Amino acid sequence: MLEKRRLGRTGISVSMLGFGGIPIMRVTQDEATAVIERALEHGIDFFDTARGYGDSERKIGTAMGAQDAKVVLASKSPERTRDGMLEDFDQSLSDLGIDVIDLYQVHCVNKTDELKTVMSKDGALEALEELRSEGRVSSIGITSHNLGILKQAIASDRFDTIQVLYSFVEDEAGKEVIPMALKNDLGVIAMKPLGGGCIKQYDVAIRYVLSTPGVIAIPGMAAVGEVDGNVEAASGLRPLTGAEIAQAERTKTELGRTFCRRCDYCQPCPRDIPISLMLHIEDISKRVGEAFMKRDMYKGLLDKVNQCDECGQCEERCPFDLPVRDLIKESRDALAEVFK
């Protein structure tokens, strides 16, 4: 069974490997249920989802409704105001099919003015504190891709947990933010430990994150094999070897700072372009070969991406401040080469 770790001042002990709920919005209910059942079989008892993850909440709620398992459910909302947060919270309860949520988080607070709104009178945090006093939510958290924002949130002493980017390719949080959170007894949840699926050495990646005491890792999982692999990596933790560290450094250098984490926060695109798919088109081409890439589906993708009018909405939404329009052009040119 997986090692348990205390989630800070929440007082809750959960499996150090949790379940990230983004990818199951891309599979059927039956497939999602199978993945969740396998996670439960392995002892995973922390499940994280969000209002913004399509039908992920509903799929988790449906799967859990058929189980007799004690789990910790966490969800989150991008709402910044009190009324908006209350509305989203009620919808989360309904979709998850429960009466009390263990952890509810303010989602993706990446700018100072957003944090100010969240923490102000009639802000989202006020709603969550009311819900906690009523016993409808047990703990309150915040998620952010901005380390400066998380430092402010920790210093405010109004949150029970933080959710932070942490992997061997994005390790800055391990220098100040994670130690600060643990010192203040906040639970630390590491999002995207596999770089949103860009890190292929999942064994090394999972072990890297979990080697930090007190941290819970929540890789996204949408297939039974992914669950098995992640659990194997998390079981019987051992230090990274010199060769594994060198491999991780090479991967970090190769990915650089402008890689797409497949979070899909850039969506929806007004031109209906599947942006994260497009930004990984070169990687797909290397894996499946040029002959496969000549299929009609990829020709259709090229036709669609050629309709991009560079409106910039994707860049406004991207929490990583990626030059999405430039990256789309590069990927479009790479795909166009296939059909020359």
- Gap between the Cα atoms of 73 and 53, Å rounded: 14
Distances, alpha carbon 157 to alpha carbons 86, 112, 141, 154, 295, in Å: 22, 17, 11, 6, 54
Active-site positions read 53
Q: Looking at this protein, which amino acid is placed at residue 171?
A: D
Contacts of residue 236, Cβ cutoff 8 Å, sequence gap at least 6: none
Sign of CA dihedral 61, 66, 67, 68: positive
Q: Which residue has the higher pLDDT, 285 or 267?
A: 267
Asked if 241 and 208 count as a contact pair (C-beta separation under 8 A), the reply is: no
- Gap between the Cα atoms of 286 and 87, Å rounded: 45
- Residue 14 parent element (H or E): strand 13-15
pLDDT for 129 beyond 90: yes
Of 291, 292, 278, 221, the closest CA to residue 40 belongs to 221
Sheet of 215-217: strands edge to edge? 19-20, 46-48, 72-77, 101-106, 137-144, 161-165, 187-191, 215-217
**Could you read off the pLDDT of 12-30 as tens digits, one per residue?**
999 999 999 998 988 999 9
**What's the average model confidence in pLDDT over 20-42?**
95
| Domain 4-241 class, CATH top level | alpha beta
**Could you read off the pLDDT of 204-257 as tens digits, one per residue?**
999 999 999 999 999 999 999 999 999 999 998 899 999 999 999 999 898 887
Average pLDDT, the chain: 93
Sketch the domain layout of the chain as residue ranges. Answer: 4-241, 275-338
Report DSSP state, residue 186: B
- Can you spell out the DSSP letters for 201-249? -HHHHHHHHHTSTTEEE--B--SHHHHHHHHHHHTT--PPPHHHHHHHH
- Gap between the Cα atoms of 193 and 236, Å rounded: 18
